[in-house]
Amino acid sequence: MDEIVISRAITESYIKELLEFMEVDVAVVGAGPSGLVASYYLARKGIKTAIYERRLSIGGGIWGGGMMFNRIVVEADAKAILDEFGINAKEYQKDYYVADAVEVASTFCSQTLKAGTRIFNLLTVEDVMIREDDRVTGLVLNWSAVDLAQLHVDPLGMRSKVVIDATGHEAEVCSIVARKIGPKLRTLTGGVVGEKSMWAEVGEKELVKHTKEIYPGLVVAGMAVNAAFGLPRMGAIFGGMLLSGKKAAEVATDLLEGKSG
């Protein structure tokens, strides 16, 4: 067994894929439920898609379920998405289904990769690229270890026709854009408003309703929607997250085809 062969195999295959995906149709930031679902539907259409995830693990908050009970709840409207992925869900009572969080997270990861999305974990988005036409055209990336160690190491850039912010409660990409260009986001304040307190019924519906292009070239999905628009958080019910991911894919597709924006 040759350690150099092993090292070269890892390095060459990774660098080749990183170079291949330095220019994509859609860049998704965050590999939580909405980001994975959005990427799955995009890749299924043959749209070149990459996910950038700052953490080691993929799946966001799914793994822990509700308060580390590894179960999640999905309402009836979103069960069709679980069915499409081949995920088991048992009816708890009318309109509410329970699924194993580990099965959900692992299946989303596997099926999204098999659909053609590439996932780059341990990469942090520290900035965005905005050009003269006031449009997001790419991301600025650095290793998460550099960020955690607070080292001064310059990042690299990648180009994307559309960016989806699926970073969760912090709405990190939307926040970066608001800091760079001022209050120009399509929200009540022009910036990231911040989540309201938990109200699952309202949060679930409004989350899907507000999944949209929030700035030219930038689509917001999942819990980043709630943070950006000042909507209630929902807790361990995930139907809205899944539906938001699917809608984000539709919005991004329309933008690529010049149908909206």
pLDDT in tens, 177-227: 999 999 999 999 999 999 999 999 999 999 999 999 999 999 999 999 999
- Reported as type and span, the H/E element at residue 9 is helix 3-20
How far apart (Å, rounded) are the C-alpha atoms in residues 218 and 113? 23
| Cα 6 versus chain centre, distance | 32
At residue 260, does pLDDT exceed 70? no
Would residue 163 count as lying in a domain? yes
Distance from chain centroid for Cα 185: 18
Against a cut of 0.85, is the pTM above it? yes
For residue range 213-233, what is the model confidence (pLDDT) as tens digits? 999 999 999 999 999 999 999
pLDDT digits (tens, 9 = 90+) for 7-60: 999 999 999 999 999 999 999 999 999 999 999 999 999 999 999 999 999 999
Cα(40)–Cα(202) distance, integer angstroms: 26
Tell me, yes or no, whether 95 lies in a domain.
no
Give the tokens for residue 206.
Answer: 């409004």
- The structure tokens 């597709």 sit at 253
3-class SS at 255? helix
- Here the CATH number for the domain that contains residue 35 is 3.50.50.60
**Closest by Cα among 163, 145, 164, 165 to 155:** 145
| Residue 135 forms part of a structural domain | yes
Q: Classify residue 76: in a domain, yes or no.
A: no
Range of the domain at 58: 3-65+103-256
196 DSSP assignment: B
Q: How many domains are there within the chain?
A: 1
Tokens of 37: 């679902």
